[in-house]
Every structure is written in structure tokens, then in C-alpha cells.
Amino acid sequence: MSVVGAALREHALREPGRIALADRTRTIDYGQLLSRVAALACQLRAEGIGCLGLLADNGLPWVLADLAAHIEAIPLVPLPLFFSPQQMTHAIIDSGMDALLTDHPVEMQQLLGAAGITTRVDGQVETLALLRLPRESTSSLPAGTAKVTYTSGTTGMPKGVCLSRDHIEIVTQSLREATGANADDRHLCLTPMSTLLENIGGVYVPLLAGACSLVLPLVEVGLSGASGLQVLRMIAALVETQATSAILAPQMLAALVASIEGGIAAPARLRFLAVGGAPVATRLLERAQAIGLPVFEGYGLSECASVVTLNASNAQRRGSQGRPLPHLAVSISGDGEVMISGPVFLGYLGHSPVNTPWATGDLGYIDVEGFLHLRGRRKNQFITSFGRNVAPDWVEGELTANPAIAQASVFGEARPFNVAVLTAAAGASAQAIAAAIAETNARLPDYARIAQWFTSTEPFGAANGQLTTNGRIRRAAIQAAYQLQIESFYQEETHDVF
């Protein structure tokens, strides 16, 4: 039995008139929510759907469809709106979904048609169009899969992380306890609900607590794409909705702090701001604390159904990623890698099941009081300050595929945008390089694009320590050589990330 479903029934019985979901103009109380989700679950069951995709903006229809699939145990594949067309097509084909709920039916039919996939509109579920896809699945889901969440792309094509309903609900219960979620909360969803953290922390946790989840379209809370942010609109939404909690990426927190320091009134009712998805500078946390923002840093992975560790009001250490949630055990291997024991994912789609303790690929240590401190990532992957995973090898390969660019090294760890150090091909002009970057950016999702660039003073080579003997770039050496130029772009305010 679903823990979330049982909670909805209990709230509907005890306080049916309490508001469960709301946008700016509509509300759904717990009595209505239970009946609407039950009706949708019956509709989905009658449709005979084996695996359901969900591609839509934040809003009531998204939540209702997600809850119906969750309670009915229909595997669901939430698709981020910020995926590139290639990533979107890959996820749809890779998951083997046979139906897709979307508020972009025309665009999706065109996209899939270009990939040779014929679809048809087969009515609506809530206000979302139901697209039928061929049943020719290219992969089979592991037994017990309730949700397949696709990473934002550590390589060119994202991997599907298969999660069970039990695992998702164990994390939901742990998060409710760690955050102190209660029936008086009003959680404002500021990040896409297709992102696992917002799905669980912003919808399931409030509903488990009998609280209200506020689900406005992303543009109404100031977010566009993976990293576009209008901070004043975000603050206005927090104030107008009287939000008590929200989830922020580090760059969103930085914008909020800077605005309040600049004289904008802080939202008055906030009690818990969770921040994570990428490293958070200790100085930023100190600034947030100085202006009274209740910010709590955490650490999570899709493979662990979002949150692994979290600072809480009764157990906080600034600069750490917090203590493990109650259902997990975190340890450090002999070479410093963070290992997770307890419920983890069923496996990557199309790959073998995983075993525990599971190696995260992150490096860190645990202090004497049990707080986790991260030191970096084992591989080259970095995470932007908006919480998006970027594999620089992938972006560099896209750049050097253009004849104007001979070599490329990309940086953006914990930053709002990416900077590239480039070696021009013989005879290539600055205009040719700029055109090459524009062409490359058009093929990339927005979080992986190059916002600023400059050319190297000399080619990367083994002689200057910037290439290995077998020709691979040494990013640390390149970063050290060009640190001042790289940092100068982040000091400038010409790049509008707010």
C-alpha cells in the first residue's frame, strides 16, 4: 500500500476542507484531491498504460497525474522541459514508454515524428493531452520500478535512474521528519517538479504532513530553462503565497541573498529553505544567516531518491552537507569516496542491478559528530550553481567538432554559467570561433552551453603540462594557468543570470 495514498485518505477523512494544492487562482482541498486522484488512477488503469511519460510545466495537472500514477503503481517518467531535443527523444525511446501526458502535444508530435516515431492524440487526462506511442519498447524496467528519473546529462545522453515506490516513500518520510514539515506549512515549488527533489520534497512531503503545496507555472516564480532566473519575481511569489518553505539551487540562494542585502524586503513567513544540488559556498551561507534566512544545506543523488544528508534546525554545521537521513548509512572508503548503505535505486535503465554499499563518485569525509563534508568529485563531471550536471568532456567534444576550434577546456563548477578556454585552429578568426560556439550552443541544452570564452596563449601540450602523454587534457593545469581570466568573467555583471 502506498504511504502517500494512505496519508491522502487520512487527511481527507479528518480534514477534508484543508487546502492541499493551490496555484494563484485555484485550490484543491484534501477531500477533492483524494477523489480526483482516485478517478485519474482509474482512468490510467483503464487506458492500459505500461509506462507513462509526463512532460508539462509546474501546475495542478502535473501533480494530479503524478499522484495518480504513483498510487496506481504505473511506472512514470517525468521529463524536464529544459532537456535538448536529442535528450528528450533519447529518454522517451530509452524508457520504452507507451504513452505521454503533455501540455506540448504539437511540439512533441513534431519532435518524435522527426525521429521516425508515429504518435496519436488519444484524449486528455486533466488538461494534458495523452499521446500514444508504439509499444515497441527498447528496454524493460526492473521489477518494482515506480519512477524513472533522468539525470540532467552527465554525458551527452542522460541515464534513467529506476526507483521503487517503497524507496521514494521511505525518503519522503525521512524528509518530513528532518525538515519538521507540519500541517501549517505552505511549500512553494520554485524548481521544476520533474526534478526529483522538488517532486518528493515539494509535493510528497507537504501532502504527507497535511500541508499545502503551491504549484505555480515556472515563469510565475521567475524560472526559465535550466538556469534563467528573475529574482524579483521569485521573491514576489514567496511573499504573495506566504510560503513557509522552498527548495533552492545555490545560484537562486545567491540571487535571493544579494537582493535582500540590496534592500528588498525578505519574505516574512519562511521557516525552512533547503539548498542543494551543487556545492554551496560557506560565505554565502554566512550571508544568508546574517540576514535571517533559514537556510539548510543538504546533499543528494537521484540514485538515492534525492536527499542523502541534510542540515536541520536541531543539527546544523555550516559548511557541511549535514547528517544522513535516518534510513541511510554513509561511510567513506579507504580512498575517500562517499559510500551509501541502505535503500538505493534499482539500477540504471538497461544495466545490471546495483549492490550496496553504493559508490557515489563523490569524495569527502565525516567529522566526529557525523556531518558529511564533500571535497569534490572523483571524475571530471561538475555541477553548476543551478544544480545541473555537466560533463566537460562532452561539451569539449562538441566544440572541437567544429573546424575553427582545435582544443577546448570547459569550466563551471558551482558557477551560474560555463567558461571555455579555447585553442584556435590555424587561420581561424575570432569571428569564426564565435560562430562555432553559437553553432555548438544550439545543439546543447542550456545548462551545458558556453556563455564566455577566450583563446589560450599557447596550445595545450605535454611540454607545458596541459596534456597527458596520450593526449588528454589536464584541466587542473589549464585552470591554474588561466585562473585570472576565468575568474574575471564571474566578476563581471554583464551576464544576466537574474
CATH number of the domain residue 145 falls in: 3.40.50.12780
Judge whether 213 and 203 are in contact, CB under 8 Å: yes
Judge whether 433 and 465 are in contact, CB under 8 Å: no
* Gap between the Cα atoms of 227 and 440, Å rounded: 18
Q: Is 25 exposed, middle or buried (0-12, 13-18, 19+ CB in 10 A)?
A: exposed
Q: Provide the CATH number for the domain around residue 447.
A: 3.30.300.30
DSSP string, 426-446: TT--HHHHHHHHHHHHHHS-G
User: What's the grid cell of residue 263?
Assistant: 534592500
Judge whether 21 and 193 are in contact, CB under 8 Å: no
Same domain, 398 and 340: no
Of the chain, the end-to-end C-alpha distance in Å amounts to 43
Residues contacting residue 14 through CB under 8 Å, at least 6 positions apart:
none
Note the residue count of the chain: 498
Q: How many domains does the chain have?
A: 2
376, 401, 435 - which closes a domain: 376
Same domain, 185 and 303: yes
Alpha helices in 129-179 (DSSP H): 165-179
- Residue 363 belongs to a domain: yes
Same domain, 433 and 370: no
- Residue 496 belongs to a domain: no
Same domain, 319 and 419: no
Judge whether 56 and 78 are in contact, CB under 8 Å: no
DSSP string, 10-28: HHHHH-TTSEEEE-SS-EE
Residue 494 pLDDT: 40
- Residue 165 belongs to a domain: yes
- Residue 385 belongs to a domain: no
- Residue 384 belongs to a domain: no
Same domain, 352 and 447: no
352, 376, 400 - which closes a domain: 376
**Whole-number Cα distances in Å, 440 to 226, 381, 398, 422, 443:** 17, 19, 6, 14, 5
- Residue 383 belongs to a domain: no
Residue 229 pLDDT: 87
Angle between helices 105-114 and 85-95 (to 10 degrees): 80
Same domain, 405 and 280: no
Residue 148 pLDDT: 98
Backbone angles phi, psi at 308, to 5 degrees: -110, -50
* Gap between the Cα atoms of 467 and 127, Å rounded: 54
Judge whether 312 and 179 are in contact, CB under 8 Å: yes
Same domain, 411 and 450: yes
Same domain, 366 and 397: no
* Gap between the Cα atoms of 152 and 382, Å rounded: 12
- Residue 314 belongs to a domain: yes
Domain boundaries, position 409: 391-491
**Strand, coil or helix: 4:** helix
376, 411, 441 - which closes a domain: 376
- Residue 382 belongs to a domain: no
Residue 277 pLDDT: 79
Residues contacting residue 200 through CB under 8 Å, at least 6 positions apart:
168, 171, 172, 175, 305, 306, 307
- For 454, other C-beta atoms within 10 Å of its C-beta total 16
pLDDT along the chain (498 residues), means of 10: 95 98 97 97 93 98 98 96 90 94 96 93 93 75 95 71 98 97 98 96 98 98 85 97 96 91 96 88 88 96 96 91 96 94 94 90 94 84 88 86 90 95 92 95 93 95 77 87 95 49
Same domain, 454 and 316: no
**Whole-number Cα distances in Å, 3 to 71, 293, 360, 382, 493:** 9, 32, 28, 35, 47
**Whole-number Cα distances in Å, 103 to 13, 124, 151, 320:** 32, 10, 22, 40
Note the pTM of the prediction, 2 decimals.
Answer: 0.85
Q: Give the DSSP H or E segment for 43.
A: helix 30-47
Same domain, 334 and 192: yes
Same domain, 356 and 484: no
Same domain, 63 and 151: yes
